[in-house]
Amino acid sequence: MAQRILALAAEDVPERLQEALQSLGEGELADMVTTQALKGKETAALLRGIFKGSPCSQPSGVLRRLQLYKHCVPLVESGDLHLGKVSEIIGLLMLEARQLPGHALAELATLFVDVIKGGSLSNGKSLELFSTVLTALASSKESLAYGKGELNGEEFKKQLINTLCSSKWDPRSVIHLANMFRDIPLSGEELQFVVEKVLRMFSKLDLQEIPPLVYQLLLLSAKGSKKTVLEGIISFFNQLDKRQKEEQRVPQSVDLEVATMPLDQLRHVEGTVILHIVSVINLDQDLGEELIRLLKTEQQKDPGRALCPFSVALLLSVAVKHRLQEQIFDFLKTSITRSCKDLQFLQASKFLQDLFPQQYDVTAVILEVVKNSAFGWDHVTQGLVDLGFSLMESYEPKKPFGGKAADTSYGLSKTPAQQACRLGASILLETFKVHEPIRSDILEQVLNRVLTKAVSPVSHFIDLLSNIVVSAPLVLQTSSSKVTETFDNLSFLPIDTVQGLLRAVQPLLKVSMSVRDSLILVLQKAIFSRQLDARKAAVAGFLLLLRNFKVLGSLSSSQCSQAIGATQVQADVHACYNSAANEAFCLEILGSLRRCLSQQADVRLMLYEGFYDVLRRNSQLASSIMETLLSQIKQYYLPQPDLLPPLKLEGCIMAQGDQIFLQEPLAHLLCCIQHCLTWYKSTVHLCQGTEDDDEEEDVGFEQNFEEMLESVTRRMIKSELEDFELDKSADFSLSSGVGVKNNIYAIQVMGICEVLIEYNFNIGNFSKNKFEDVLGLFTCYNKLSEILKEKAGKNKSTLGNKTARSFLSMGFVSTLLTALFRDNAQSHEESLAVLRSSTEFLRYAVSVALQKVQQLEETGQTDGPDGQNPEKMFQNLCKITRVLLWRYTSIPTVVEESGKKKGKSISLLCLEGLLRIFNTVQQLYTARIPQFLQALDITDGDAEETDINVTEKAAFQIRQFQRSLVNQFSSAEDDFNSKETQSLITVLSTLSKLLDPASQQFLQFLTWTVKVCKENALEDIACCKGLLSLLFSLHVLYKSPVSLLRELAQDIHACLGDIDQDVEVESRSHFAIVNAKTAAPTVCLLLLGQVDKVLEEVDWLIKKLTSLGSDTSEDSSQASDQTQALEKGVILQLGTLLTVYHELVQTALPAGSCVDTLLRSLSKTYAILTSLIKHYIQACRSTSNTIPGRLEKLVSVSKLLEKMAYCLELGVTPTSASLQVKLSGSHLTPQCYSFITYVQNIHSESLSYAEEKKKKKKEDEAAAISTVMAKVLRDTKPIPNLIFAIEQYEKFLIHLSKKSKVNLMQYMKLSTSRDFRINASMLDSVLQEHNTEDAENEPDNNQSSTAEQTDENQEPKKKRWRKK
């Protein structure tokens, strides 16, 4: 039959073809097509024949065509046919589909919907036909039956799509369906239906099928709904990431483990999806802009949802080759700093922590992206690198603090900018570790920045470089040319940069001969440079080389691994880098350095400070270094035993014209000799039993040094100040050459005495004679020190106020203090009594410890041996703290030196030292705080480190200082020491930071602080300030301080009286610390400062409220609960603050800072009230102009307000919005206007006082009046701002009343005119005075001021006119 139909179709006789087809039944036709298709022969020709013989003009033809379509669709989807055959059949059917009438198309479309519902689509080829059918149907104009009614083609298509999107889809056909919808013209609403349905199907698909579906969806988004598509994709992967994290955190049971997705598979899928999105954005720029818009909006509402690891990776990928790069980086940087600020904000307030228990940290998210990028996300790495450098440059340190302060990792007080800069460095370091191909690029960029940013601090880049080298030392070999190029510029860089850079790249010098040689060439040139900095750089470089190239036989000092030791570079494989070859190399360098001993003092100083470290690391160089030092000191040493002084000081200075310079830092030279000799004797002798050959030579210089130091000690003790040409009559002013010379001599002599004190104490082994020598040397030091202090006191312009930096080493200071205060050994008692007998010496020892700790706090290091070794510094700090703590707690200040008032007492110095140490430890040694507290607790010395409870240990220390403070408060008035009390309060404040705010100890400390403030009527301003600041800082970490503020405000009101003198204020004293001396301005300003902080929190919350209010996502119920909690919090805070202001604006505050601050604070409050009202107006708009239920509920309690008006003053907290309006209206606004009148009265009094003075002194009248007028104008400046803020608030309140249909204005007395500017009774009295006064005596100024007042009073008239 099929052959016959083919033949008839070929003959072109339509009538016979139609007859033949009519003779076939429905089943026969279907079988014939199936058979022909399966045979694979002439199927297309057969179908064409059937179509030819079934014209659409005849109903039978349409029916036959329909039957053919209905049969072909399942046939194509059956999977029995070859794909080529399927495409041929579908192509033919698509061509003919457009000729079908509307009802047939509708029937065919319905058939397709049923097929899709049934899930019988296998290859999805037939969907190409479905898209054609739907497109044709949409253009059909005839009415089609649908249910009981009729629809046109477009509406019918819409109903079909609606049905399709509402039905269940087979997961296998989702991609085909998404592809199909691209070819169908869809309205915006239909497209939204389709997109939402496809996004819902994500969770039902296998993970591997997501990327192709995402790609189809992105192509579909070209029609619209871009935001929904992007939001859906980001949200889906965000949920997957969260689920993955949960599974890693909580291991599932064995049965469920099968169901979890493998991590690497998820990351690869995410990477592919990101690539798809980036490729589509490259074609469709609008999609990229929509992505940024979406994330910016989301970030306002919920940063955690906007910036998840997936979305950050996506942004960074888009940023690489795109014009949106600047926009994306600006957005990311803003988000990072905002996140850091919000985290700081939350950590500082328990009230906010309760409202936001989950804190979002963007830094953790970005570092997670770096970790995820290890799974082949090469498209993200460039974005990460760019972001890292962008952060480091945008938030780099502004000014160096000196020394190493810029690159110490301060743990506690980090600003958001510092955190962002540190995040940038972490991103680069982690990316460097994870991605090998990009390493050389990162390294090159870091080196470029170190070179090009010579003016601004580069410590953060040097830190990064150092960390990079530590993580992969051999990577530098591939970039050695870049490093060599950097060396060429060393002489142009600041010395700090040079030292940091050389320390960082030091491992490369051990593995690359060419780099080492090029560095040595550069350094040798630099030694002869004209620039001082270049010569200093050369010395720094050579010293570093000497420290790190060990000569054969050198001791393996325990500190050798301090910087970057050989453990990190296992590359000493080349024969030429053995220890024997290093000796010649090191001796050559020493030869170069000897030339520096004839250069400027700064260069010599670097050498003397560096030799000790070289010796300690490279002990075989000892004899060379010692001989160098010996020949140097011999130039200044006078060997004759009776000659005084023992050293030629005149050889240490150099005159150049009128100016005198220090040429040889003799004290530093002696200091270097002393430390090197001590180290040599203690270390080398232990290991030289076998090396007899060298011993004689070594003993030679050792004996020389010992004799020399012994002789210098003996003669320095005998020397008088006159021997050095220094005495009380000498000139020490820095303006004359003689004065400069004397200052240099004095500092050198004092330094030499200190060096000898340390030397003699160390070698003395507790012998009485040596300790008498120590005291003799100290006497010489002290005489000079007193003279310098005295001269500095007389001449304030000199720099003598700064104490010269001590030459004692930190290690010796800790040993000395321990011996002086804590050594109870019987054998040492007699010799130590010599030193203990001198109070001046004890005070000196403590003050040097204080100076060392201060230097450590400011620069992160100290002078002298091991000054740059953090571990040694920490151990010394612990020893010093133990001694100072014992000394302070054992001997109270009152007991000590009751008759002697000269200088600070030792106890007070100990307390200052403790305060500095506690600060330093929290800044520099955050991670070691447990060990520090453990070291202070002598009773519990053997406890395991893991058992250390920081809160308990800190609480124990706090209790000791609490006792001291209570003793101060209970002491007699004459014995009260203000400075000590201030220091104690600061110590307590510092230690309180170590307490966990959730602990019982914290609560006990807070309760104690409140008790102290309530019971002690302190009149000392500074102590009161410190105690209240401590109270506030503790209270905010426990709960909101508003109730505390209200009590303080009531106390201030009771203490200062009312602005209306006839009103007697009820005395309600809560805090004894608020008294006549402290109430204003001290307590008042502190109170207003704390109020401002609460206002900032409220303002921040209102912004959060506004962003939550605009959230229309699925979690709207959850958002609604959070909104209600936030609203309640805001209203409680504001309500109580209004009662605080209610007290303050009725208080007779003295003119000046209190009034000014209060007026500004009130303006801010009204501005915040206005923003809250705007939020409610917005809430009314978003709920179709009806008041939200929560606000209605709040306003419904307004009937109770009349009864509550008095209760509010007694401390009842408002709990509703309308109550807050009532408070601000009936309670605060009228009082504000009264307060403004009061302020103006104060200022008018000061004006009249000025007039009286002017009558007395005619000659000064102009200046006096203009000064007072300027002050009055300045002090009254905040008043117009406050009035404007009040009126803005009233304006928006009226607006809200209209919107909400609730009369909130019933509580407000509208200020229709500013009649508070004109006080009628006062005006009458002033007019009478003017009438009675004599016309000649009436000053011009009075007329002008009256004119000014009338001018001012014109404004309200205009306003009244406008309001009519």
User: Of residues 1282 and 941, which shows the higher confidence score?
Assistant: 1282
Which is more confidently placed, 1084 or 732?
1084
Query: Taking residues 717-744, what's their average pLDDT?
Result: 83
Interval 266-305: pLDDT, tens: 888 888 888 888 888 888 778 878 888 888 887 777 777 7
Out of 110-114, 242-246, 1072-1076, 1269-1273, give the one with best mean pLDDT.
1072-1076
**CB burial of residue 773 (10 Å; 0-12, 13-18, 19+):** buried
- What do you get for the CA distance between the two ends of the chain, in Å? 98
Highest-confidence range of 210-224, 755-769, 1312-1326, by mean pLDDT?
Answer: 755-769
The pLDDT-based confidence of 25 (bands split at 50, 70, 90) is low
Helices (H), 174-253: 174-181, 188-201, 210-220, 226-249
- Which residue has tokens 């002008």? 1344
The yes-or-no verdict on residue 1118 having pLDDT over 70 is: no
The pLDDT confidence band at residue 218, using thresholds 50, 70 and 90, is confident
Look at residue 777 and give its three-state secondary structure.
Answer: helix
Largest Cα separation within the chain, whole Å, is 147
The Cα-based distances of 1034 to 289, 982, 1027, 1219 in angstroms read: 46, 17, 11, 30
Pair 980, 961: CB distance under 8 Å: no
Provide the token pair at 811: 């290690």
Helix (H, G, I), strand (E, B) or coil at 611: helix
Q: What is the number of other CB atoms lying within 10 angstroms of the CB of residue 506?
A: 21
CB 109 within 8 A of CB 134: yes
Nearest to 736 by CA among 796, 660, 653: 660
pLDDT tens digits, 458-503: 888 888 888 888 877 777 777 778 888 888 888 888 888 888 888 8
Coil/strand/helix, residue 1272: helix
- What gap in Å lies between CA 835 and CA 842, rounded to an integer? 8
Q: How many residues does the chain have?
A: 1364
Dihedral sign from CA coordinates of 1249, 1255, 1257, 1259:
positive
Is-contact 59 18, C-beta < 8 A?
Answer: no
According to the model, what pLDDT value does residue 879 have? Answer: 93
Give the per-residue pLDDT at 253. Answer: 44
Q: Pairing state of beta strands 144-146 and 653-656?
A: unpaired
pLDDT band at 555 (very low <50, low <70, confident <90, very high): low
Residue 698: per-residue pLDDT: 57
Q: Which amino acid is at 1345?
A: S
Cα–chain center distance at 931: 26
Closest CA to 1094 of 1057, 1058, 1141: 1141
Tell me the pLDDT tens digit for each residue of 1004-1039.
999 999 999 998 888 889 999 999 999 999 999 898
Q: Please state, in angstroms and rounded to a whole number, the distance separating the CA atoms of residues 1142 and 1050.
A: 9
Three-state secondary-structure class, residue 105 = helix
Phi, psi angle pair for 1060, to nearest 5°: -90, 110
Chain-wide mean pLDDT for the chain?
75
Which three-class secondary structure state does DSSP give residue 637?
Answer: strand
Q: Which two tokens stand for residue 610?
A: 């560096």
**Secondary structure of 363-411 in the HEC alphabet?**
HHHHHHHHHHCCCCCHHHHHHHHHHHHHHHHHCCCCCCCCCCHHHCCCC
Of 1123, 1134, 1128, 1122, nearest to 1091 (Cα)? Answer: 1134
Q: What is the pLDDT of residue 1175?
A: 83
Alpha carbon distance 167, 720 (integer Å):
107
Dist. CA 483–CA 572, nearest whole Å: 20
Q: What is the C-alpha radius of gyration for the chain, rounded to an integer number of angstroms?
A: 43
**What tokens were used for 809?**
């080493």
- Give the C-alpha separation, 862 to 884, whole Å: 19
500 within 8 A of 459, measured Cβ to Cβ: yes
> Residue 721 corresponds to which amino acid?
L
Q: For 1013, how many CA atoms within 13 A lie in the half-sphere containing its CB? A: 26
Q: Is the pLDDT of residue 682 over 80?
A: yes
CB 43 within 8 A of CB 84: no
Contacts of 982 by beta carbon, 8 Å cutoff, 6+ apart: 1022, 1023, 1026
The structure tokens listed for 7 are: 């033949």
β pairing state of 149-151 and 659-662: unpaired
Structure tokens at 620: 């075989």
Distance CA 182, CA 216 (A): 8
